Every structure is written in C-alpha cells, then in structure tokens.
Amino acid sequence: MGIRGYNLETKKRIYVGLLAVSLLSIMFLVGAIWYLIANRHIIVSQVLLITIAVVVAIILLILGIGIIAIILMIIRSRSIPSLENIMQLANELLFPLTIWAGKVMGIEKEQILKSFVSVNNYLVKSKEIFVPGKEVMILLPHCLQNSECPHKITVDINNCKECGKCKICDLKKMAEKYNVTIKVATGGTLARKYIEENHPRAVIAIACERDLSSGIQDATGMPVLGVLNCRPNGPCFNTDVNLEQVETALKTFCKGG
C-alpha cells in the first residue's frame, strides 16, 4: 500500500506566522476601538477606561511573550519551563484567530492545522519527556482498519487476526515491543474516554489534521505527539500511516526503546 509522505518539519513557520498576525490583528482592533472612544467623547468613567486599557495591555503582552517563547523554543530546540503556561495560553486563545487569518490570506485550513501539529510536536520533543512504556498510549483512528475486515477492533485490538491487509497488525506488534497501551477510537469522545480510563502520561495520536489539532487542544497539559495518517482513498476510508514516524514518536517518549 503506497504512502503519500507528509513533511511536518517544514511547516512550522505557517502557524507561528499566523499567531503573530492574529496578535497584530487584535492590537489593531483594540487601537481602533480606543481611537473611536477617545475621539467621540463617549462618556466612560476615566478610571474604568484606564483599568480596561491596562488589562488589555497586559493580556496582549502575555500573548506576545508566549509567541516569542514558542519561536525561541523552536530556534533553540530546548524547553523553557517557566514560559510553558504562557505558550499554552497563547496557543489556546489565538488558535481560532489563526484559522481566520489564514482564510483571509488564502492559506488552506488543512495547511494551517498541519503546521499547528508540527509546532506542537516540536515543542513536545524539546521538553525531552521520558516515561515508562506502560504509561504511554497510542490512539489509532478506526479508518486504519481494512474496510472489509469483519473483526471489531474498537472493543479490543487483539481481535485483529493479523492478515496483513492493513497496518493494525504492525502497530499492535510495535505496541507490544515498547510495552505501550494501544487503542482504536471511532472519534474524539471515545478517545477522551480511553485517556480518562487509562491515565497515560503521554499520548501518540494518529489521525487527520482536523482530528489531531482538536485532540491536542483537548488534552490540555498532556504531551501529545501527532502523526498524520495518509489518505490514498479519501478521508476516513482505508487510510494508512508511516510506521517509521510512529516508532520515532515512541522513541521520543520511551527512552532507549
């Protein structure tokens, strides 16, 4: 089964650039509102106006620091623990605006989401998080399973009969090699349920750009490495995955294999 490659490492600049554009857009909007209020003599308490201005300025400063911290981590390939919460806040607050800014600039949403996953992966790797294999979970989309397979693996992946018609067999063996938990989810709700039940300290998620980006945002505070699936037959049908990328992600968390 052929695999169409996805180079995530070259896409980071798209998302980081859109973060900066989003922040500048907010600053422009705030400046325009301030100008209208100041020049139309709208009756507003001076104390209230100054308070709002200070709060907004602090928020913008924090977001700006968060974006700079992300850029520094990418350049240095090293974590900045004291700024991780600020980076997370900048990501959470500005992410919806990056989609809007990208649309205005003619950038496809898929490219933006792919870039977001790339930035996330780079930041997670820079933290050098090493945990025992038993505390790592691999989450697979059910569309990796051959559509003609009669065996239900969302209940138990061990129901796979290892016929070789899809990558489920290889992924199951890889999970056994690294002693990690592996689950197949039909969607975000089931994926969250697996995480809540198994309490992993790190997750490797395989999915499309949309599902990966939403899953990474949902897993607040938990390190998630995303691996994009390949879709030679279209979305959500007989998809594929690069096994080398999955194993590289495993080695990132499971030191020494």
Q: What's the one-letter identity of residue 23?
A: L
**Cβ-based burial of 116 (10 A; exposed 0-12, middle 13-18, buried ≥19):** buried
Two structure tokens written together for 152: 């239900």
Q: What is the pLDDT of residues 88-105, one digit of tens each?
A: 899 889 999 999 999 999
Supply the DSSP symbol for 2.
-
Q: Give every CB contact of residue 116 below 8 A, 6+ residues apart in sequence.
A: 15, 95, 98, 213, 216
Per-residue model confidence as pLDDT tens digits over 190-248:
999 999 999 999 999 999 999 999 999 888 789 999 999 999 888 889 999 999 999 99
Q: How far is Cα 22 from Cα 46, in angstroms, rounded to an integer? A: 29
Answer yes or no: pTM beyond 0.75. yes
Q: Would you say residue 47 has pLDDT above 50? A: yes
CATH of 133-253, one of 3.40.50, 3.30.70, 3.30.2250, 1.10.3470: 3.40.50
CB 141 within 8 A of CB 207: yes
Least confident window among 7-16, 65-74, 130-139, 144-153: 7-16
Residue 41's pLDDT is 57
> Is residue 5 over pLDDT 50?
no
Three-class SS state of 129: coil
- Separation between Cα atoms, residue 188 and residue 192, nearest integer Å: 6
* pLDDT score of 188: 86
Report, in angstroms and rounded to the nearest whole number, the Rg of the chain calculated over CA atoms. Answer: 21
Domain ranges of the chain: 12-121, 133-253
pLDDT digits (tens, 9 = 90+) for 144-173: 999 999 999 988 899 999 898 999 999 999
